[in-house]
Structures are given as structure tokens and as C-alpha cells.
Amino acid sequence: MENGKIKKSRAPAPARRKVPARPKSLYSQDELREIFRRFSIQRPEPKGELEHVNPFTLVVAVALSAQATDAGVNKATRALFKVADTPQKMLALGEEKLREYIKTIGLYRNKAKNVIALSQMLIDRFGGDVPRTREELVMLPGVGRKTANVVLSMAFGQSTMAVDTHIFRIANRLRLAPGKTPDEVEDKLVRLIPDEYLYHAHHWLILHGRYCCKARKPECERCVIADLCKAPEKTCDVPAPLVELPPQLYGPTP
């Protein structure tokens, strides 16, 4: 107190939220927006190609897909998910019988152990439900960051970037978000892709890499972003006609 007056203390200024800086890119924001605008016209509702009936079967399918093709996983899981579409049913099936269902998939013995273990953990720690956070998902045996991101996106509608081999390849090839690791590529893509396109972006990039910008020989003449692409090895500067693709080209056939 000074001269009979009470000094009023100033309330601290609210902390400013740190907005991640946009990484350096060869593409301008307008170019990035145009790339994903075209993808959105070509595939308005992109879908993952792993067949599943609920969040649990999605977790299992994605875990099984490591170093395997989606088509190969689907072939094995169609029969499996008819008898084991919950953690409880998967445990009742048991590891030995599970191996018989998935023996056509690479590394099937280790994957069978992980599926049984993750089913047990889902029951013990999460009441049989698939958790909705990345931190909890990666606790499950056989579930890494990519699997967690796929589940968060496809099962729970969250905007994530699941960097698989296709995305990692074309992010570097196109110089879209070059990085030495999937995590580095993921971080850059999340910060570069315009917000309005982020939810579907990982499916657009996966499908573009799978069906157009192929690993051995990219089909540049079929590419809708050929004029914008900054890949040194591209063979065409004229974009393909921008038309919507038939659904069967980017989703599992009925």
C-alpha cells in the first residue's frame, strides 16, 4: 500500500498460441490448393481399399497390411471377419486357427501373435472398444503411427496423414514434402496441405501413387497435375483431362 492506495496488479497477457510455421516448399499455396482441388474432382469420395466392418476389423486389417498388398489382405480377411469381428471373438478363435486364415499374408505368424495380443489389450484396457487417440492406439501390439493414423481417419473421421510407401515415394519424387523418414514427410504434409483438403488428402495421395505415379514407371500422360508437378523425371507437362474416375478404380469391388 502506498499513500493509502492499493496498487492493482495487471493480469498477465494471454499466451499466444504457437502456429506451426509452414515448411519451405517448391510449391506455392495456390499450386498446392490447385493440386488437391484437381484430386477432389477426380476422386470426390476417395476410400481406403482395405475391407472392414467396424473399427476393430479396420485395426486388424491395417496391422496385417504391413509389407503386404491390400488385395492380399482382403482375400484373407473376408472369411476371417465373418467369424471374428470383435476382440472377444478373435480371442475365442485363438492364435493357431487365426494363422490358418492369414497364412497367405507375409509374416503371418508374427502378425497372428500381434492380433491376439492387441485383442486382449483392447478388452483389458479399453473395455473391448478401439481407442480414439493416437497415443492409445500405438500402445496396441503391431500398431504403429501409420496404422493409428489410418484408424483415426477412416474409423473416427479425424484429419490425419498416414504415410505409407506410396505417399513417402511421391512426396519425395514430386518434391512435395521431401523427407528422410515417414514421420518427417507426415509433419510437412500436414502443415502444407490446405485445411479444406486435409481430411481426404492421404487417400488421394495413396491412390495417385498406386494407380498413376507408380514406383517403377510413373504414367505422366495420365496425370491430372502434370503441369504442376516438379518431379525432375516427369515425362509430360500436359495434364490429363480432369474427369471423375469410376468408383471401381479407387475402391474394393462389391
Residues assigned a catalytic role: 146, 164
Which residues pair with residue 233 across a beta bridge?
A: none
Q: Which of 187, 175, 188 is nearest to 230 (CA)?
A: 175
Cα three-residue angle 130-206-254, rounded to 5 degrees: 70
Burial class (CB in 10 A: 0-12, 13-18, 19+), 31: middle
> Are the C-beta atoms of residues 206 and 52 closer than 8 Å to each other?
no
Q: In 3-state terms, what secondary structure has residue 138?
A: coil
Instruction: Give me 110's grid cell.
Output: 508374427
Q: What are phi and psi of 5, to 5 degrees?
A: -110, 140
DSSP state of 105: S
DSSP state of 2: B
